[in-house]
Structure 1
């Protein structure tokens, strides 16, 4: 997602909207600029202490809200490209266990792996080991945290029964993170069509 420069000549409609509550946004304000010159593309970039989101003028308010969230997540992912090392990942898991699981989940090891292409994470409760797919690297922090909490919960409850999902309710971004990951999977299954196709 290239960060397009603002299109001043089109005299876009501008308005500042409240930033969705998310750690993905490092700024306090989001300015949406609508442009009649834009037909299909949406882009975003940081401008000082705010995030500017450029959208086509014909977009509905519901589409605008959805795209603001999507673009904030994309920017946050780009900005957090620095890969966490295994030691940092283990420290993060320890923090998340203390915060959401009362410190009861105590993994012996937490590490990235490159051989998990159909799962986001896995664990072996008997060994206390947690493995996260390298495909998560660069995704928003709340998504990585969700996968960590998910695997930490498996150290306490092996299956996906009601008691497991009850543990996951402690993490406030569970549904949002699951939706994000489902979107990634769905996007991978879409046919790759030319960007300029007609609607």
Structure 2
């Protein structure tokens, strides 16, 4: 960790990562006692933000359990859920036979409602294979379903990914009809 004092900085304090270390920027006029208080506060804020953007596997499992309770009546019970780096064409995947869910690390930093949608999508696959009417009916109760799907389509399009999946689109339309 490094503390940088600036004569130009009057009131604001900020913290950021630069490579492997944390840099805290403070006004040059700040006392050592104030520095200690602000450095601790900024480190806590930085860690909290990182936890929100990149939850641990245990955090993901608790989140998946909560989402299953709220939107799927608790029927989907994953045994594990984790981030993976090898998914380049999918946002998530699951193996119903062992109850495992994998989320692409490309989701990290996306809005929480988008990550929640992908988790719910994979939870629904623990109950229903494929993208049938029954599958989309399970997801219908998620209030940000279409917004999250649109967000992911926009990201995919911007990155040059193929977003056409006729079965997926037809089934989603059937479920809302």
Asked if TM exceeds 0.5, the reply is yes
Does the CA contact (< 8 Å) of 2:82 and 2:101 recur in 1? Answer: yes
Superposed displacement of residue 81, structure 1: 6.1
Task: Give the corresponding residue for 2:122.
Answer: 151
Structure 1 runs of 4+ off > 3 angstroms?
A: 78-82
| Partner residue, 1:138 | 109
For 1:189, what is the secondary structure of its paired residue?
A: coil
In structure 1, C-alpha distance between the alignment counterparts of 2:50 and 2:143, rounded to whole Å: 23
Deviation at 1:171, TM superposition (A): 0.7
TM-score, normalising length from structure 2? 0.61
Superposed displacement of residue 189, structure 1: 2.0
5 Å-filtered alignment, 1:172-183, equals 172-183=143-154
Partner residue, 2:62: 91
1:40 aligned residue = none
Structure 2 match to 1:119: 90
How far is the alpha carbon of 1:79 from its aligned partner?
8.2
Instruction: List aligned pairs for 1:69-80, cutoff 5 A.
Output: none
CA contact (8 A) 1:80 1:138 kept: no
| Offset at residue 159 of structure 1 (A) | 1.0
Instruction: Say which of 92, 95, 106 aligns to 2:77.
Output: 106
Q: Could you say what secondary structure the match of 2:143 adopts?
A: coil
Q: Distance in 1 between matches of 2:82 and 2:160?
A: 28
For the residues of structure 2 that align with 1:79 and 1:86, how far apart are their CA atoms?
Answer: 14
Distance 1:174 1:83 in 2: 21
Q: Deviations over 1:130-164 (max 9, x none)?
A: 00000000000000000000000000001110000
Unaligned runs of 5+ in 2: 1-48, 162-177
Q: Distance in 2 between matches of 1:140 and 1:154?
A: 22
What corresponds to 2:134 in structure 1?
163
1:187 aligned to which of 139, 144, 158: 158
Query: How many residue pairs were aligned?
Result: 113
CA offsets per residue over residues 53-92 of structure 1, 9 Å max, x none? xxxxxxxxxxxxxxxxxxxxxxxxx887641011000000
Q: TM-score normalized by structure 1? A: 0.55
> Which structure has the greater CA radius of gyration?
2
| Change beyond 3 A, Cα 1:79–1:86 | closer
**Structure 1, unpaired ranges of 5+:** 1-77, 191-199
